[in-house]
């Protein structure tokens, strides 16, 4: 009796258990809990330390509500503001297939900085740019982009099922996109078939 007054009443959780019982509970819970929530979509790449390429768009929207959400049939677009830039998270059938950061400051210097960082991390990549033959200097290329006569595009393909596109065009400005290859191909095929 004296011992109970000093330490308070004993409850189910405060009863001492042998270490093997605790270990059994921990192992059991670690096995059962992930299975109870259902299979989650794999995260191919954590983009901008925030968005899971290939992940579930609804989980993202619940955890981090977007500034704007647009739903159209099997497609979802979430828009987030990152300072002066905008992040577009595009999903098809609930899975994120593209994350694009639209940089508000579109300049040759900013493009070159992003290109240098990506080249250092992923290698040379592939140049898919197209410019008129008269646009040989950076200044002429910038003029061609602003007129809509040229576009700077660099692509880095990975073996992990995703690729990166750095682009500077009149239509989209300066953009950095991470794209899940298989999901992008599926949504593009569905779009072409009229679905």
Per-residue confidence (pLDDT) for residue 105, from 0 to 100: 86
Residues 125-141 pLDDT 10s: 999 999 999 999 988 99
Mean pLDDT calculated for residue range 186-190: 92
Is the per-residue pLDDT at 5 higher than 60?
no
Q: Burial of 187 by CB count in 10 Å (0-12 exposed, 13-18 middle, 19+ buried)?
A: buried
- Of 57, 63, 62, the closest CA to residue 76 belongs to 57
35, pLDDT greater than 50: no
Q: Determine the pLDDT at residue 152.
A: 94
CA distance 163 to 49: 16
- How many Cβ atoms from other residues are within 10 Å of residue 64's Cβ? 12
Q: Enter the pTM of the model.
A: 0.77
67-76 confidence digits (pLDDT tens): 999 999 999 9
What mean pLDDT, rounded, does the chain reach?
84
Tell me, what's the pLDDT at 38?
A: 46
Question: For residue 78, what is the enclosing H or E element?
Answer: strand 75-82
Residue 19: its pLDDT value, please?
Answer: 47
**Residue 74: phi, psi to the nearest 5?**
-85, 5
**Tokens describing residue 92:** 């098809």
pLDDT tens digits, one per residue of 161-177:
999 999 999 998 999 99
């Amino acid at each position: 009796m004296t011992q109970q007054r000093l330490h308070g009443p004993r409850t189910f959780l405060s009863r001492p258990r042998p270490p093997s019982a605790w270990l059994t509970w921990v192992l059991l819970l670690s096995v059962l809990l992930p299975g109870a929530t259902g299979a989650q979509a794999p995260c191919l790449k954590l983009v901008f330390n925030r968005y899971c390429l290939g992940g579930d768009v609804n989980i993202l929207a619940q955890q981090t509500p977007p500034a704007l959400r647009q739903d159209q049939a099997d497609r979802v677009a979430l828009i987030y503001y990152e300072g002066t830039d905008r992040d577009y998270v595009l999903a098809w059938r609930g899975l994120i297939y593209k994350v694009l950061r639209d940089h508000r400051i579109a300049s040759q210097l900013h493009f070159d900085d992003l290109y240098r960082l990506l080249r250092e991390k992923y290698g040379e990549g592939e140049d898919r740019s197209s410019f008129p033959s008269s646009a040989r200097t950076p200044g002429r290329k910038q003029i061609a982009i602003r007129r809509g006569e040229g576009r700077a595009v660099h692509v880095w393909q990975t073996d992990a099922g995703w690729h990166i596109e750095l682009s500077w065009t009149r239509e989209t400005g300066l953009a950095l996109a991470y794209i899940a290859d298989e999901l992008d191909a599926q949504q593009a095929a569905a779009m072409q078939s009229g679905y």
